[in-house]
Structure 1
């Protein structure tokens, strides 16, 4: 039996009931997680870990198609995919299996960038049979695979499989494609979150470097100066002077090693400081208030001068302070992004607003801070305006407010 690409417009019974997806032929990547939060916040909070995203994809793929097995492959170095997540397997034969483009069902999906399916894997003439042994060890017959794509192309594939000769119909293809779309989003956000964690780690290394420079560095310099003074003392014996010389050389070596260590600690791109600072503010805010708070850097950020960095940080801190004072929120998300030469910082909460009815102040398209009545944010708005930027407050129909800060990049 040969493989065949799905015919999306042709419904066909598959011999087994296929449960529907989320009503749109897709899947919410956060079903069952963060259930107490509004959907727009839960979607951000759940998509921060790459391993968890892959695990959820394999589980959800199996669930929405009624399959026995769900597998997720990720394209890695050299363009080969590796099966990194699985659900429903009985053996380890498919775990971490390397799948080059063009080989087997998944390799065909990568090469053609489209879904493919087989009713009987071992007898299919439309695929290569490099993986018959591990497939057979799992007792697999029917199999379906769809590509996972981002803006740069195919980044992986998702499989579902059955241990019986009951093929997958078009509804399964649609549902699994929805899982693939959600997985692509989850992996993108997880990678951005990892980059932000790296930025936070670098900021911490910088803090440590400054502390070491100001304490240990200064101490070594003072001791070195005192040793030189003792050596210059005319009353010192030759033996004592030689011992002081040894101590002075050791101090010099220690100072050199410290400088090299400090250089290594502070060796990082200049644009990592703003995301790290915002992330630090979010951690402090959550620790102080108990409100679930996350920060996301959604794009690469350009290097900003000190004035712009201070303006963004001040605006974010003031927006968080207003959430703490007035919003009665359960979650806050702070995001940073750059597009068309403009840096945008967004602080979104799920609370009740800051005073009165914020919709009357902000309007559908977003209003000014003066209209919303925030004195602290009014001062921030003026500071941002001096840099050619703007600050708006936008109310949501369901709940909460968003403060949006835009500043042109230099």
Structure 2
């Protein structure tokens, strides 16, 4: 995609330029279809809009709860503080958009009297001047906010504003679907956790109390009753174990088809928890059972890739995408770190003491008849692609 300059009079200066912009916007929308994680959708949107508009900074805030919007997608930021912004009604540009439900533009964020100073220090640290904020609405519901920013004082330009407004319209149903999917998953998990707690308290706890009482009787009782009491203890212990297993079965995948996705999501969650990275997991295609050997290899390779990112990439974000196709499955892991060294070459047996982890990943993929590709990412960082055959579905 050719670099596009911000600003300009009208959407593209000519009908041909306008059509080219709209075609690029349609391509962008098609690329975003299938993202059901709001954070991953927001980050990919920010990256693609940054490339389309040519603005120094593009970001996407997503509704988080009933009254807050969190900055989930950012491209071009210089500081981590910008990624941590959470907006409430009336605060900053986004807060004004929440109230007025229309695009807001300023030529100098820090001096414009319409904008509160809630985020003035964050904006100043980024060196931003001109900015625009555009609402993303679906069924009269504000689901997100798109931002564009200049590191100079002045107007964003008509072209960028119009394209952001068009992007907001196209993005709205996908963002609403991703938010609803994430909310449904959270509610399901919370309900299952509550059910487990209830089962443990009302059922298993009573059994364990009975076992404790029986054990006391065995210790204190006479010789004639010891055998019968011992049998009761054994029977109740077995029943308690069975009930405990039943209570915790709900934490396993509800469908065997989901085992690979659940395992990879767990790895992503562990990476985020221990490293502080923004980590997102996306699934595309119809989920189906994978051969155990393929699933084990995918999880093992992913674990090594995440370790490499954590130890060497100096990244701030990771996105893993698992895609099911008719005859193969692929896992793509992207980071925004410093990328590959010069003259990098992936070898089954590397020389020296570097890249042995990547070599191990390659051998595991090849043992399953698959392949591993490691290359620079389109927007910096590194992209790892694992592909394995799984037979026709």
TM-score (structure 2 length as normaliser): 0.50
Structure (1 or 2) with the larger CA radius of gyration? 1
TM-score (structure 1 length as normaliser): 0.48
Identify which of structures 1 and 2 has the higher relative contact order when contacts are C-alpha pairs closer than 8 Å and 6+ apart. Answer: 1
